[in-house]
Amino acid sequence: MPKLVNRQWLLAARPKGMVKTSDFSLREAPVTPPGDGEVLVRNLYLAFEPAMRGWMEDRAGYIPPVPLGDVMRGMSVGQVVESNHPDYKPGDFVSGMLGWQEYACAGRGSMVSHLPAGATLTQPLSVLGITGITAYFGLLDLGKPQAGETVVVRGAGVPRLHGRGRGDLICVVEVEVPKRLSREQKRLLKELDRTFGES
């Protein structure tokens, strides 16, 4: 394997107010080859999620803060480049908490998982990721919507609703649409209306 260089975004400072470029630093380092039972993954997509802001703070939480000088914690989707693990082979697409870096070794303590069958490369970072799972369980387990209720989704992108017609979503979902939409947002809204609109 040719000598690979790993570009890593490190947390350089605790943000004061809004997160700034100066809160991070870019480091280039040699790629660490995978050890026994590990895989080397080349990250293709990195997550930018609301929870990450809390991970940058120096305060107790459900997960320890990212130490200054460490690779910024975050989910990613990538492709296995080299494998010393029997369940993964080069070319497999995987997701995991691999951080903001081009390459990451995963194995003991930081395993990756194969993408679900039929999933796109970005879905593990959205509807099948932390934010999607939070929204799903927040709505259904905490909100416990009842038949006839209306749920208004605010401050979110165009939703992708699944399950209509199977009886597992028992509420009407209304989306507050921004006044200005991009072409892609308009296309997705039309697609959403065709797929889930009243018949």
Give the pLDDT of residue 179: 62
Domain assignment of residue 128, yes or no: no
Domain assignment of residue 127, yes or no: no
Give yes or no: residues 106 and 20 share one domain: yes
Lowest mean pLDDT among 80-84, 125-129, 175-179: 175-179
Give yes or no: residues 49 and 10 share one domain: yes
- 109 or 121: which carries more pLDDT confidence? 121
Domain assignment of residue 86, yes or no: yes
Give yes or no: residues 12 and 96 share one domain: yes
Domain assignment of residue 124, yes or no: no
CATH number at residue 54: 3.90.180.10
Domain assignment of residue 98, yes or no: yes
Give yes or no: residues 33 and 95 share one domain: yes
Domains in the chain: how many in total? 2
Give yes or no: residues 68 and 161 share one domain: no
Tell which of 96, 115, 134 closes a domain.
Answer: 115
Domain assignment of residue 48, yes or no: yes
Give the pLDDT of residue 126: 83
Q: Which of 57-61, 146-150, 153-157 has the highest mean pLDDT?
A: 57-61
Lowest mean pLDDT among 20-34, 101-115, 151-165, 171-185: 151-165
Concatenate the DSSP letters of all residues of the chain into one string.
-PPPEEEEEEE-S--SSS--GGGEEEEEEEPPPP-TT-EEEEEEEE---THHHHHHSSS--SSPPPPTTSBPP--EEEEEEEE-STT--TT-EEEE---SBSEEEESTTS--EEPPTT--SSGGGTTTSHHHHHHHHIIIIII---TT-EEEE-S--------TTTT---SEEEE---SS--HHHHHHHHHHHHHHS--
Give yes or no: residues 81 and 163 share one domain: no
Question: Could you tell me what percent of the chain has a pLDDT over 90?
Answer: 46
Tell which of 95, 115, 135 closes a domain.
Answer: 115
Domain assignment of residue 132, yes or no: no
pLDDT reading at 165 higher than 50 = no
Lowest mean pLDDT among 23-27, 42-46, 193-197: 193-197
- 11 or 184: which carries more pLDDT confidence? 11
| pTM value > 0.85 | no
Give the pLDDT band (50/70/90) at residue 70.
Answer: very high
Q: What are the tens digits of pLDDT across the range 123-133?
A: 888 888 877 77
Rounded mean pLDDT of the chain? 81
Structural domain span for residue 178? 145-196
Give the pLDDT of residue 114: 92
Domain assignment of residue 61, yes or no: yes
